[in-house]
Amino acid sequence: MLIGVVGAPNKGKSTFFSAVTMVDAAIANYPFTTVTANRGVAYVRAPCPHVALGLSKCTPKNSRCANGTRLVPVGIIDTPGLVPDAYKGRGLGNKFLDSIREADAIVQVVDATGKTDLHGNPCDSCDPAEEIAFLKNEIAMWIADIVSRKGAKHLPVKDAAASLSGLKISEIMLLSACKECGLDVSDGAMPDEEGLKRIARELVEKRFPIAVAFNKIDVAGTMGNFEKAKLDSGEESEGASGNGMANLFACSAAIELALRKAAERGIILYTPGSADFEVVGTPDDRQNEALRKMKAFLGANGGSGVQEIIDWVVYTKLRGIVVYPVEDEHRYSNHRGEVLPDAYLVPSGTTAVQLAGMVHTDLADRFIGAVDAKRHIRMGAEHVLENGDVVKIVAGR
Ligand SMILES: Nc1nc2c(ncn2[C@@H]2O[C@H](COP(=O)(O)OP(=O)(O)OP(=O)(O)O)[C@@H](O)[C@H]2O)c(=O)[nH]1
Ligand SMILES: [Mg+2]
C-alpha cells in the first residue's frame, strides 16, 4: 500500500511527510520547495498481539512495539506542489501527476489558516475549502486529458481503459464509473467530452480515496475554518451520499514533527497519535516552553491529528488488516525465537495462501496448510484472514 501526500504548494506536505517518516525532507515557507517526490515509510497503529496473548514482550523486526501498540510500516510519498492547470504542465504539473500514479490513496494537505493561496503565495483570507475541490478537479482533468489525447471522438472503451492502465484504472473500474454517471457505453464507444469529464470525476472517487488534512491548526483562530469546512461539506454531500464530511481531519504536522524529534532525542516519551507525552530528558528553558505549549495543544485537541489520518486511510479507506506470520505457533516466534517478529499490512480478504506468497513466493508453491496460532485451529489455503491473526504457514519441501 502506498499513500500519496498531495496538495497545493506551501501547505505543509513535506512537514506532514517528515513527521510520519522521520525522513528529513526539505521544508520552507515558499512554494515549490519540493521538486521531486520523496519516498518513505510511515506507520499505522495496531494493538500488538503480545498483550492479548499474555506474553511479557515481543521482538519486532519489520515494525515497532510502543507500550503494546504495534507500529506497522506503510509506504508514503511526498509530492511536489500542485497548481491550477497542472494537467497542462503548469508549475511542476507533470512531475506532480506522475508521482501520484502509484498511490493507492491520498492525504490532501490544505492550509487551514487560509494564509496561502492555490499557488502557495501569501494571502489574507483564502478559503481552505476551495482547495479541496481544486485537487479533485485537477486530477479529473488529468484523467480526462489522458483519454482525450488518444484522439478519436468516440474512442473504443477498451482503448480508453488501456490509456489509463498506467494509473491502475482497469476496464472494470472505467465501466462502473460510466454506469454510475448514467452513461450508456454498451456500443463499446466512449461518450463525448462532457461525458468523459463526468466519468473522470467519478474515477477520481473510485481510484484515489482522499483524506483531507486541515493542517496548521495550531495557529490561533484556525479551528473556525475547519469547523466551517466541515459544515459546508456536510451540507453538500449529505444529499448525495449521506456520509457527510467524514474525510476531513484537523491536524498540526509541525507539532507532530517536533514531538517525534523530541522523542528521538530522548527528551520525551511519546507514542505517535497519543494525546500526551512524558518528559524524561532534561530540556532547556526554550524547549520547556515549547513542550508546555505542545502539551496544551495535545490536551485541547486530543492529539496532533496526524497519526489518526494515516490510520483512517489505511483501515477505513484501503480496508487494510494486520497479520503476523510466525514459524512456531506455540511460542509465536520465528526459528530464531524472536516473538511476533513481523507485522504484515494486507488488504482485507487476503487468504492464508496469499499471505504465504507475501512472506516468500516459494512458500505459496509449497503451501500445505496454516495454523491459526491464537485459536490453535487449522486453516485451509482459501481461509480468509482476520485483522490481528497470528498465522503459522505449513509448507512442504
Ligand atoms: N504553524 C504551522 N506551520 C506549518 C505546519 N506545517 C507546515 N508548516 C509551515 O508551512 C511552510 C510550508 O511547509 P512545507 O512542509 O515545506 O510545505 P509543502 O506543502 O511541502 O510545500 P512545497 O514543497 O513547496 O509544495 C513551512 O514554513 C512550514 O514550517 C503546521 O502544522 N503548523
Ligand atoms: Mg514540500
The domain ranges of the chain are 321-395
Confidence band (pLDDT; 50, 70, 90) for 233? confident
Mean pLDDT of 231-241: 52
What is the second-level CATH architecture of the domain 321-395?
Roll (3.10)
Mean pLDDT of 158-175: 92
CA of 382 to the centre of ligand 1 (A): 46
Give the ligand with the smallest distance to the CA of 82: 1
Percent of the chain at pLDDT > 70 equals: 95
Q: Note the pLDDT of residue 189.
A: 85
Query: CB of 256 closer than 6 A to ligand 1?
Result: no
Mean pLDDT of 232-254: 65
Residue 21 has pLDDT above 50, yes or no: yes
Query: CB of 91 closer than 6 A to ligand 1?
Result: no
Confidence band (pLDDT; 50, 70, 90) for 100? confident
CA of 143 to the centre of ligand 2 (A): 24
Q: Note the pLDDT of residue 244.
A: 40
CA of 89 to the centre of ligand 1 (A): 23
Higher pLDDT, 129 or 322: 322
Query: What are the angstrom distances between the C-alpha of 81 and each of 35, 203, 251?
Result: 8, 22, 19
Confidence band (pLDDT; 50, 70, 90) for 319? very high
Q: Note the pLDDT of residue 152.
A: 64
Residue 240 has pLDDT above 50, yes or no: no
Query: CB of 45 closer than 6 A to ligand 1?
Result: no
Q: Note the pLDDT of residue 24.
A: 80
- CA-closest candidate to residue 127, choices 229, 210, 252: 229
Which atom of ligand 1 is the closest one to the Cα of 256?
A: 31
pLDDT tens, residue by residue, 82-99: 888 877 776 655 666 777
- 8 A C-beta contact, residue 339 and residue 57: yes
Mean pLDDT of 296-322: 96
Q: Note the pLDDT of residue 243.
A: 37
CA of 78 to the centre of ligand 2 (A): 7
Query: CB of 79 closer than 6 A to ligand 1?
Result: no
pLDDT tens, residue by residue, 187-196: 888 988 889 9
Query: CB of 316 closer than 6 A to ligand 1?
Result: no
Mean pLDDT of 300-321: 96
| C-beta neighbour count of 199 within 10 angstroms | 25
Query: What are the angstrom distances between the C-alpha of 360 and each of 116, 217, 356, 397?
Result: 48, 44, 6, 14
Query: CB of 216 closer than 6 A to ligand 1?
Result: yes
CA of 82 to the centre of ligand 1 (A): 14
Out of 109-123, 198-212, 226-240, 255-269, which region has the weakest mean confidence (pLDDT)? Answer: 226-240
Confidence band (pLDDT; 50, 70, 90) for 22? confident
Residue 245 has pLDDT above 60, yes or no: no
Q: 44 — phi, psi (to 5°)?
A: -105, 150
pLDDT tens, residue by residue, 328-356: 999 999 999 999 999 999 999 999 999 99
pLDDT tens, residue by residue, 362-384: 999 999 999 999 999 999 999 99
Which atom of ligand 1 is the closest one to the Cα of 18?
A: 15
Residue 238 has pLDDT above 50, yes or no: no
Q: Note the pLDDT of residue 242.
A: 35
| C-beta neighbour count of 220 within 10 angstroms | 6
Q: Note the pLDDT of residue 95.
A: 66
Mean pLDDT of 122-143: 90
Which atom of ligand 1 is the closest one to the Cα of 31?
A: 24
Q: Indicate the average pLDDT of the chain.
A: 91
Instruction: Output the pTM of the full model.
Output: 0.92
Confidence band (pLDDT; 50, 70, 90) for 239? very low
Confidence band (pLDDT; 50, 70, 90) for 25? confident
- 8 A C-beta contact, residue 283 and residue 246: no
